Amino acid sequence: MVRAPGAISFSTLRGDRGQRFMNDGHSPATTPERAGSLDALFDGYRRFRAEAWPELQRRFEQLAKGQSPKVMVIGCSDSRVDPQQILGAAPGQLFVLRNVAALVPPYAPDQAHHGASAAVEFAVRVLQVHRIVVLGHAGCGGVKALFQGAPAEASDFVVNWMGIAEEARAKVDPSLDWDARERLAEQACAEVTVANLMTFPWVRERVEEGSLSISAMHFGVANGCLRCRDDARGVWCDVPTE
């Protein structure tokens, strides 16, 4: 029998129980090939069932009846920045949209395929979330592509996508070297997404009536520091850890 590429066999489902895939993917026994294998993913699933599921089962049984998150997080697709982990949220508490650089384009009610805008609409108009968090992060490749140019391998879609945040360039002093302006650029892109969200009429309406708030945040990958923009003062501040 011919099996389609990537098809799952019973032997694959059993996995190799003698070699565990660590959460960080960098165990001495874990090769890059294994880290990207189905066996590694299934090992992770088994750990989830053995270690987390007993405590989470009742919660998921309730969530199976429906979701009612109060917060939407718009975050980056970057593998190092998991909104649920950073914000200490339980399953069902966050409605999460992740894409390159945590961007949302301005409101454009046409017939194009608007994945980000569709997620915002569902969160705001259907789920009736109370807050939207735009979560940028340190070392964002999308932001770097906007300010320094995208690699040739990412020219089909990334360049055009990052054009959404073009106005962020004007917010950052170009005379600074990249180390000095990287975080400023990442924060500026988050601010652009906040501004774009306010172009959605039903977002603006709820913000103005006080039933919806929007916050811009930035996570430091190396130091674990979370920063939040204080809109009243127009500055970014570290979130206290205690």
Q: Parallel, antiparallel, or unpaired: how do β-strands 131-137 and 94-99 relate?
A: unpaired
24 by Cβ neighbours in 10 Å (0-12 / 13-18 / 19+) ranks as exposed
pTM of the model: 0.87
Same domain, 159 and 93: yes
Asked whether residue 8 falls in the same domain as residue 124, the answer is: no
Tokens standing for 70? 């109060």
Give the helix/strand (H/E) hosting 96: strand 94-99
| pLDDT attached to residue 155 | 87
Q: Is the dihedral of CA 52, 53, 59, 63 positive or negative?
A: positive
pLDDT of the residue at 24: 52
Q: What is the pLDDT of residue 20?
A: 42
Q: Are residues 84 and 29 in the same domain?
A: no
Dihedral (Cα; 185, 84, 224, 180), 10-degree rounding? 0
Note the pLDDT of residue 3: 44
Domain end (from 66, 91, 109): 66
219 and 209 in a common domain: yes
Residues 143 and 159 occupy one common structural domain = yes
Q: State whether 77 and 51 are in the same domain.
A: no
Which of 35, 66, 97 terminates a domain? The answer is 66
Task: Check whether residue 55 and residue 72 sit in a common domain.
Answer: no
How far CA 82 is from CA of 9, 74, 138, in Å, comes to: 30, 11, 13
Same domain, yes or no, for 102 and 128? yes
Give Cβ neighbours of residue 30 (< 8 Å, ≥ 6 apart). 19, 21, 22, 40
Do 12 and 99 fall within a single domain?
A: no
Residue 2's region, left for phi above 0, alpha for psi from -120 to 50, else beta, is beta
CATH number, domain of 221, equals 3.40.1050.10
The pLDDT, as a whole number, for residue 196 is 99
Torsional sign, CA 178, 179, 184, 188:
positive
pLDDT of the residue at 13: 40
Cβ atoms of 129 and 212 closer than 8 Å = yes
CA pseudo-torsion sign 38, 43, 47, 53: positive
Write the secondary structure of 172-229 as one string of H (helix), E (strand) and C (coil).
CCCCCCHHHHHHHHHHHHHHHHHHHHCCCHHHHHHHHHCCCEEEEEEECCCCCCEEEE
How many domains are there within the chain? 2
Question: Per-block average pLDDT, block size 10, for the chain (242 residues)?
Answer: 42 40 50 86 97 98 98 99 98 99 98 97 99 99 94 92 96 93 97 99 99 99 98 96 92
The confidence score (pLDDT) of residue 29 equals 53
Q: How is the chain split among helix, strand and coil, in percent rounded to 5?
A: 45, 15, 40
Q: Which of 50, 66, 82 is the last residue of a domain?
A: 66
Query: What range defines the domain where residue 52 resides?
Result: 1-66
Name the maximum alpha-carbon separation found in the chain. 67
Residues 211 and 182 in one domain: yes
Looking at the structure, tell me whether residues 25 and 142 fall in a common domain: no
Residue for token digits 């055009």? 160
For residues 94 and 60, membership in a common domain is answered with: no
